[in-house]
Amino acid sequence: MAHVDPGTTQPTTAELFNRLTDQSRQLVRDEIRLAQAETQQKVKHGVLGIAGFGVAGVLALFGLGLLLTTAVLALDEVLPAWLSALIVAVVVLVAAGIAALLGKKQVAEATPPAPERAVAGVKQDVDTLKGNRS
C-alpha cells in the first residue's frame, strides 16, 4: 500500500477530469496556433518568391524581345526581312509550346502547402492520449 501523508489531499476524479479537459483544450488551441503560424510563414515565403519571379519575368521579357530583334536583323542580312521575322517567330512559338508542356507537368506534381509539423504534433498527441506512447 502507498503511504499517503495526512497533510496532503489527493485530487478527486472530477478534479482530475477537469484538469484533463482544460489541458486538452489548451493543447488543441496551441496546435491550431502552430498550424496558423506555420501556414502564414509558408504563404509569406511564397508571396515573396512569386514577386521575385514576376520581376525576373518582366526583365527577361524585355531581354528576349531585344534578342529576337537582333536575330531578325541578323537573318535580314541573308534573307528577306519577312522571312527572317517568320523564322524567328516559328522558333519562338515552338519554344513556348515546350515551356507550356513542362510547366503543365510541374503544376500537376505540385502539392498544396500543409502545416506538416502541426499535423505531426496532433498525430503524436492523439497517439499519446490513446496510450500509444512513442
The whole-number pLDDT of residue 3 equals 60
The whole-number pLDDT of residue 111 equals 66
The whole-number pLDDT of residue 97 equals 95
Distance in angstroms (rounded) separating the CA atoms of residues 97 and 91: 10
The whole-number pLDDT of residue 59 equals 96
The whole-number pLDDT of residue 118 equals 79
Dihedral of CA atoms 65, 69, 75, 80 in degrees, nearest 10, equals 120
The whole-number pLDDT of residue 7 equals 64
Low-confidence ranges of the chain (pLDDT < 50): 1
- pTM beyond 0.75: the answer is no
Distance in angstroms (rounded) separating the CA atoms of residues 30 and 33: 5
Cell of 69: 530583334
